[in-house]
Chains A and B, each alone.
Chain A
Amino acid sequence: MQSVLLGLIMVAVGWLVIWSVYEPDDTSKYWWPFKMKQPQSAAPAEATSETPWRRRSHARSARRGQPDQPSQAKQPSQPTTRPWQRRSGS
């Protein structure tokens, strides 16, 4: 049992080390056992966020037939761009 467990951990650490070198943008690649949950999309978070004023203004806008105000809820920023890609013009 100990040898099997040790073997699994050795494979796992090796996998992590090699993966950390490549750091793929698409984490589903080469990252299978350690793949993280994808961040929840912004839309459901906005709908469930604790912003009652947002829901009230949304309802008021809907009643008046006006377009809704921009959301006040926190939004995640865009994925971090890679400077070397900008420099190379890619």
Chain B
Amino acid sequence: MLRTLFFFAEMTVLMPFVLARPFAGILLWSWFSFMNPHRLMWGPESDMPWAMIVICATMVGCVVAREPKRFPVNPVTIMIILFIAMFSFGTIFAMAGSDEVLPKYTWVLKVYGVALLTAAMLNSRLRIHALIWVMVLSLAFFGIKGGGFTLLTGGTSRVWGPPGTMITDNNHVGAALLVCLPLMNYLRLQSAHRMVRLGLAAAMVLTTFAVVGTYSRGALVGLVAVTLFLWMKSSKKLASGIAILAVAIAALAFMPSQWGERMNTIQTYEQDGSAESRIQLWTDAWTMAIHRPLTGVGFSGTYSRNVADRIAPGLMARAIHSIYFECLAEQGFPGFFIWLGITVAGWITAQRIIREAKNTAGLEWAVDLARMSQCSIIAYLTAGTFLSLSYWDFYFTMLVAIGATRAQVLLTLGKADRRTWARAAPAQPPLAVPGIAAG
């Protein structure tokens, strides 16, 4: 009850700030979207549409606040706009009923729309840093809790995600924590205080245990891919290799035999029912995409028995369990390539940041963020192969932050005037509050 009161008091205090500065609303909205803190409360607060309230207040704040607004045109935002246009067009031809299509369409539109709004607000290094903090705090809660649970139970029970969210499933929460891990490392690298760095390092260790404790084979594949990527990029390959090996041996020794047996089914997937059904689902998704190559079957089409029977009787009607095949079946080939293009744009932008900002004093943060974002992209692309998280807001918010980081790099290097697409709006004037006035 105490936490509910504290939560309500905090929201009551913070809401006026959202009206005054819409970026405060973006931070709060990110918190509600990624962590769903209200679901951890008791009483009527847990059922209130907090995210809706915050985003409405943010929109009002956008109109009321004197903050300069300039939409950042960069490869990531361009690809997101193209994707919104593409799936909006495809929804006209969706095969499932409107009662199934429209709720998902509205939800996905909200995800990408708010990502664009976030991009418009990320116009300073400190704002980018604050957003990354909120993103990490939101998922670190489940990472620390899950890691502690795994350690206390000896890894005999599975870690599950928060109920009623996008990452409820053990596979989903495993992938989500894996994507969050490199961002934690970015904060650890850039935090000034030793205690905070130690706290983040401890959170990273516990989150790794939580990932392993999900019993998700997809997350394990992603963990291996991320570790290999980090090791390849490491300047001290011997030391980092020994450390990675030590952690891997410790994890293998700690986890019970049932965990090892489940992970071993990766090698014998032909004999595993779960893996077999996934391959069948991917084949069915490919059949749907071939049937409607330009627009796909539309949102929720893969879940509809009616749609599956109209295409080919016998197709499975359920979640596709792959970010690639889910998007391909729902959006068709053009939509799929645009969706993939958002990630490619994010990766190339991160690569450019590393190339341009490397060895430049004052831009170490941007290089660290770009490198760690690339690790997160690898985590999403590998772990996502086995689960349905095509429109995960956390991931696309991170890509938008990469675009904003590039704009800051160009501003610092003095190239922004030549590349008008990268111009960022100046920060807003500080509020004139006595005692807390800026500067």
A and B physically associate:
yes
Interface residues of A (CB under 8 A from B): 1-3, 5-7, 9-10, 12-14, 16-27, 30, 32-42, 44-46, 49-50, 73-77, 80, 82-84
Q: Is B105 an interface residue (CB 8 A)?
A: no
18 contacts between A and B (CB under 8 A): A3-B3, A5-B145, A10-B7, A10-B37, A12-B137, A14-B10, A17-B27, A20-B21, A21-B21, A21-B23, A22-B431, A24-B439, A25-B439, A40-B362, A45-B359, A75-B361, A80-B411, A82-B426
Partner of A17, one of B14, B360, B438, B439: B14
Interface members, chain B 16-50 (any A CB < 8 Å): 17, 20-21, 23-24, 27-28, 31, 35, 37, 40
The segment out of B167-175, B191-199, B215-223 that lies at the interface is: B191-199
Per-position 1/0 for B179-200, Cβ under 8 A of A = 0000000000011110010000
Identity of the chain B residue whose Cβ is nearest the Cβ of A40 in the assembled complex: B361
* Chain B interface helix/strand/loop/mixed: helix
**Docked-complex contact B141 and A9, CB < 8 angstroms:** yes
Contact of A33 among B140, B196, B359, B433 (CB under 8 A): B196
- A5: chain B residues at CB < 8 Å are 141, 144-145
Residues of B close to A22: CB separation below 8 A: 430-431, 433, 436, 438
For residue B193, give the distance in angstroms from its CB to the closest CB of chain A: 6
B129 interfacial by beta-carbon distance below 8 Å: yes
B50 to chain A, nearest CB (A): 12
Select from chain A the residue with minimum beta-carbon distance to B152.
A1
Q: Complex: how many Å from CA A42 to CA B140?
A: 35
Binding site for A on B (CB under 8 A): 2-3, 6-7, 10, 13-14, 17, 20-21, 23-24, 27-28, 31, 35, 37, 40, 124, 126-127, 129-130, 133-134, 137-138, 140-141, 144-145, 148, 190-193, 196, 359-365, 411-414, 426-431, 433, 436, 438-439
A76 with B439: in contact, given A16-B130, A35-B191, A82-B427 (CB under 8 Å)?
A: no
User: Which residues of chain B come closer than 8 Å to A34, judged between CB atoms?
Assistant: 129-130, 133, 191, 196
Q: Cβ of A21 and Cβ of B130 under 8 Å apart?
A: no
Q: Are A37 and B148 in contact (CB under 8 A)?
A: no
User: In the complex, what residues of A have CB within 8 A of residue B24's CB?
Assistant: 17-18, 20-21
Could you count the A-B residue pairs with CB atoms below 8 Å apart for me: how many are there? 146
Q: How far is the CA of A9 from the CA of B35 in the complex (A)?
A: 10
Tell me which of A23, A40, A46, A80 contacts B364 (CB under 8 A).
A40
**Contact: A76 with B412, CB < 8 Å?**
yes
Q: Which residues of B contact A10 (CB under 8 A)?
A: 3, 6-7, 10, 37
Residues of B within 8 A of A19 (CB): 130
Say how far B205's CB is from chain A's closest CB, in angstroms. 15
Seed contacts A6-B141, A14-B13, A34-B130; 12 additional CB < 8 Å A-B pairs? A14-B10, A20-B23, A22-B431, A24-B430, A34-B191, A35-B191, A36-B190, A37-B191, A50-B359, A74-B413, A80-B426, A82-B429
Are B361 and A23 neighbours in the complex by a CB distance under 8 Å?
no
Q: B residues within 8 A CB of A14?
A: 10, 13-14
Whether the pair A37, B190 counts as a contact (CB closer than 8 A) is yes
Tell me the complex Cα distance, A24–B439, Å: 6
Contacts of B364 in A (CB 8 A): 37, 39-40
Of B7, B145, B361, B433, most A-chain CB atoms within 10 Å: B361
Q: Which residues of A contact B13 (CB under 8 A)?
A: 14
Cross-chain contact A77 with B413 (CB below 8 angstroms): yes
Shortest CB-to-CB span from B392 to chain A, Å, is 20
Q: Contacts A13-B28, A20-B24, A77-B413 known; A38 to B192 CB distance under 8 Å?
A: yes
Among A10, A26, A27, A75, find the residue whose CB has the most chain B CB atoms closer than 10 A: A10
Given A49-B359, A74-B360, do A20 and B130 touch, yes or no (CB 8 Å)?
Answer: yes
Residues of B within 8 A of A13 (CB): 27-28, 31, 134, 137
CA distance A32 to B360 in the complex (A): 26
Contact B3 A23 (CB under 8 A): no
